[in-house]
Structure 1
Amino acid sequence: MSGTWEKHDMGFLAGRRLRRPRMAGWSRDLVRETTLAPSDFIWPIFVVDGQNERQAVGSMPGVERISIDLAVEAAKQASAEGIPALALFPNTDPSKRTEGGEEAFNRDNLVCRALSAIKNAVPEIGLVADVALDPYTSHGHDGVMEGEEILNDETVEILVKQALVQAHSGADVIAPSDMMDGRVAAIRAALDANGLEKTIVLSYAAKYASAFYGPFREAVGSGARLKGSKLTYQMDPANHEDAVREVGQDIAEGADWIMVKPGLPYLDICRQIKDRFDIPVFAYQVSGEYAMIAIAGQAGAIDREAAMAESLMAFKRAGCSGILTYFALEMARKLNA
């Protein structure tokens, strides 16, 4: 029976030319399964204190830390290209970093001032605020410590305060990236209790303890400070069911959207979550992923533009609703050209 089926199947295939729809540009356009648009991107921006200040991030060619006035101009450029949102990350003055990360909930901290300035100047653009303590702690971890231990519940109390000052400063989306247990429920409850029920919660539900974060840690100034690893709270790269449990818990706690981080090495996780849960899935094309493409492009090892576009298309093919990417403005301009 199997032999008969195989013969029939081969006969069926013999009558088809799978290359036919690929022969011309117009036919490729008609049957293309996945499309990419500027509206798919969230652009991460690194902010620093100062005026007209630009600081190159050495490990990320083409990426800079910029002062708030320049971040406002970047927001205007993004809006003009159809990018719907920015994600802000501060490089905090070392003198303001402490063991407890208290600067995180200072209403006048760098990221809060940036949120307010951008929202006032470019009200139509969405603003995503990262909720985690690593830009504010002297030890570089995402939570407060007691000895070598990251304290979960004590950290969540601080994250709630941080989320509230960010939302009051103009953040449309609160994005907890710390991976503490219970923080989504606590943040959602606090937002609702303070009249901020319209604020979206984008949970970094599946955030892995990855080797691809190095350039980001340079950009926010936490890398050299990091004591030990983040393996006790970020996820083991070997696990996928763990991601499903994390996502399910965060949805139950009130997350509106879900983030997978990093991106390209975890496209299987993006697809699995998309298939198992009825919720928008986002991915972060992290600093190490960006650096590999940018540096290889500089070296002539790959075509930078082609690799950029291909990598971003992969996220959409895997089911992502949106992508945090440092290529956002460059790719949007290419798509709009």
Structure 2
Amino acid sequence: MDLPVMPPVQPMLAKSVKGIPDPAKFDGGLSFEPKWDGFRCIVFKDGDEVELTSRNTKPLTRYFPEVVEALAAQLPERCVLDGELFVAIGPRLEFEVLQERIHPAASRIKLLSVEAPASFVAFDMLALGDEDLTPLPFSERRSRMEKALTGLSGPVHLTRTTLDPTEAEGWFEQFEGAGLDGVVAKPMSAPYQQNARTMLKIKHARTADVVVAGYREHKNSTPERPLLGSLLLGLYADGELQHVGVAASFTEARRAELIEELQPLVVPLSDHPWGKWQEFLTANPDRVPGTQSRWSQGKDLSFTPLRPERVLEVGYEHMEGRRFRHTAQFKHWRLDRDPESCTYEQLEEPVSYDLTKVLG
């Protein structure tokens, strides 16, 4: 493979902002596009050779043979693209299913490529033919990409864009129902800068009152100075406390304060609502706390059970099934809330939206 932009390439990144930004405040304006919830992927194609690499430059090629085949057939002879791998089930994205595609067994990869096929959506072009496009402004890169990627028939797609902030605001509200993560704004005059937060991202942010059901210790915790690593969070459904996610971002001082504050609530696992799950020793569909999954092999997932008496308000972006998609953010204790009142009914549900309409 011999391209004007060669691996490893670290993708250009985005910084979070609140609300749709005003294009008039940016030289050349802004281009808005949906924020896909998948695996960031750089595609390198040189003739019959196609390589996929991840955000942290690791190879992805072997895990997505059906996407590699489509890219080889539909892309220009020689090019480098920045985009996202995703899996759609019905009308929406399914990140959990996408994660299952990273599997060590070739036979399993082959099976999943048929049962849960992935797609690729392109949103930037870094090279075309013998030309390095990264020094060009995004407006030029986008124009070149649109001309080069005509006739795509899936599972390869070109992301839609708009220059209208009002339309972008509508996408922000509508597209979440298809599993998307928000909206990205790209300065039209900006070159492609690896690993630089040149773009802007607008993501959904919500709050929920959850029950603190346990904690894990931090990797730097010692007997002399115990430190809290993460709080295990729960919500009630049909009278049962369900594991809904974790909160984990604290300063070292706060980690020490929290673990001391929670000691009076420590109970034996046998006296805890999740004690009945201690029989599970391997991955399971309910993602029971303390159990292993393909993504956590070798990690210590043991936790300290707490009496489910404390309620915490957390910030979260959106749900993946019945769990927070990302780590929740600690807001403050809610001493006025009864733990049993913390149910799934409080969560805002986005209106469903067909992914095919997002792809245009």
TM-score, structure 2 as length reference: 0.25
Q: TM-score, normalised by structure 1?
A: 0.26
Tell me which structure has the larger Cα radius of gyration: 2
Q: If each structure's strand is expressed as a fraction of its own residues, which one has the higher value?
A: 2
